Chain A
Amino acid sequence: MLLLAALDGLAYGSLIFLVAVGLSLIFGVLGIVNVAHGSFYAIGAYVAAAAVLALGAAGLPTWLAFPALLLAAALVGILVGGLVEIALLRRVYGKEEVLQLIVTFAVFMILEDAQKVVFGVQPYFANAPMNWLGTVEVFGIFYTTYQLILMPLVAAAVLLGLRFFLRRTSFGRAIVAVTQDREAATAMGIDATRVYLITFIIGAFLAALGGALASATTSLTPGIGAGTLVLSFAVAATAGLGRIEGAAVAALLIGLGRSAAVYFAPEFDVLIPYLIMMLVLLVRPQGLFSTVQTRKV
């Protein structure tokens, strides 16, 4: 049972890492706490499920579902994320945080209802990609390959890919420069407006990718966005907002904690992630991985 809890935790942690790292990236660069992040997750899940069901209905081979999941997430990131940034967020950068929160919260509410209009309130279930990959046996326990191998692999690829992108590519370095000092970066010729847009799209894409991956493992109902949003806030806060590697560790910690609770103390299932967050923040209010800013002399 302990092993089963660990495997569950790994799969679950991978999923919330994808969502939380996007949230963290957006906060780190744009300074915005993006409540609408939960909607990107939910819309990613719905669009992916619809695409998988459409592929199935058309009688196309199931492996096509995997590129379809990725494509669905990219589409949601670019179209929905891009639209939100250009039409709304651009107007509130540097304004009061309350205003920014209200704007992203309003986007969240609007997108939640838009989902219901487009996809209805009936549960969506598109688990063909998960069944197609079959199961693996770990110490006598059968577990789906999709959840145990594919999801953690995607999470690891995103973690390594983001690190490489931010440190080694010239656009990644431009993002880091804008994060540290927007005006100085602009004086170096960096188009900060474009950096903000692309960062927001990447963050939205990661949330949608989390949703797309999750769509094969669970049935989709209205409200899935809110639950994941709150959980990814817990992960991001535990890690320290803006910390990419930290989000991975915190996601794993909270994922494992939650699945342990599911098996051993189900009544605390909902509570555990926040208990972990609370404990961490009590000891380290800046989060697990943030260093206290050294004074610039």
Chain B
Amino acid sequence: MLEIRELSAEIEGVQVLRRATLSLEEGATVALIGRNGAGKTSLLRAIMGFMTVTGGAISFDGKPLDTVKAHERPRLGIGYAPEDRRLFSTFTIEENIRLPAEVMKLGEAEIARRLERIYAVLPELADLRQRPAAGLSGGQGKMAALARALMVGSRVILLDEPFQGLAPVLANRYAAALRALRDSHPDIALLITESNPSLLRNFAAKAYAIERGEVSETQLAESSLAAAGLH
């Protein structure tokens, strides 16, 4: 469904992706493992249209994405939870989650239906819905960012280092939420980046390692630790 072929990209003249190739099938859970600065965030940002691509191509449902403007990509059903949450701090949690749906001009009934499904997966957010996003803890913020990505991500959800900075208890809670999402939305493809592969071992069926912008297929076993340079 989402195919990345030989993608190269740079930031201010520095090459950050080198002929990266990766594919994501419908309903798959795929891990992208690499240490800080390896190019994980760049790859996700390239999918969302925020990178200067210098070679290669990304296609979605067989159609090239390079002619689709960044702000039109969420409409294809691609949800994105960036690193550091990046919630809008002056909005409440629910306003944050609703925003992409309002932008797409979904009807109130459809928004309510989607919210209900999201709160079913992430029940703790239902109690926080009227709280301003600025006052959230790290774990709650990650959940809200996931919920916001779910609002439009009916096909693919890109999660950038969702476990980063979470205390073990919260990380477990977040992993449980992801499993609940997996069960309730089996058709959605998940692409999850992480620097610590052991966190994803229980759920990703397929894994890629990224190092200095180069992507290779790997296993989420001991060998992947070596591939990602983590022992």
Contact = CB atoms under 8 A, between A and B. Distances in A.
- A, B in one complex: yes
Interface of A: 170, 173-174, 176-177, 180-181, 183-192, 294, 296-297
Contacts of B48: 186-187
Interface of B: 45, 48-50, 69-75, 80, 82, 84, 86, 88-91, 95, 99-100, 102-105, 134, 138, 148, 152
9 contacts: A173-B91, A180-B89, A181-B88, A183-B86, A186-B48, A186-B70, A187-B82, A188-B74, A192-B71
A187 B102 contact: no
Contacts, number: 64
A187 B89 contact: no
Contacts of B89: 180, 296
Contact of A188 (B49, B84, B100): B100
Contacts of B70: 186-187
Given A170-B103, A173-B95, A297-B138, A187 B88 contact: no
A296 B137 CA distance: 11
B9 to A, nearest CB: 15
A289 to B, nearest CB: 14
Contact of B102 (A173, A180, A183, A294): A173
A184 B86 contact: yes
Nearest to A183: B50
Given A170-B102, A184-B82, A186-B71, A177 B88 contact: yes
Tell me which of B80, B99, B104, B105 has the highest count of chain A C-beta atoms within 10 A of its own C-beta.
B99
A95 to B, nearest CB: 13
Contact of B71 (A170, A181, A190, A294): A190
A185 B70 CA distance: 10
Tell me which of A176, A177, A188, A192 has the highest count of chain B C-beta atoms within 10 A of its own C-beta.
A188
A27 B138 CA distance: 30
Contact of B74 (A170, A174, A187): A187
Contacts of A297: 138
B91 to A, nearest CB: 7
Nearest to A293: B89
Nearest to B82: A184
Contact of A181 (B49, B86, B105, B134): B86
Contacts of B74: 187-189
Given A186-B70, A297-B138, A173 B86 contact: no
Given A173-B102, A189-B72, A296-B89, 19 more contacts: A170-B102, A170-B105, A173-B91, A176-B91, A177-B91, A181-B86, A181-B88, A183-B50, A185-B88, A186-B71, A187-B50, A187-B70, A188-B74, A188-B100, A189-B152, A190-B103, A191-B69, A192-B71, A297-B138
Contacts of B105: 170
A190 B70 CA distance: 9
A183 B74 CA distance: 13
A44 B216 CA distance: 61
B103 A180 contact: no
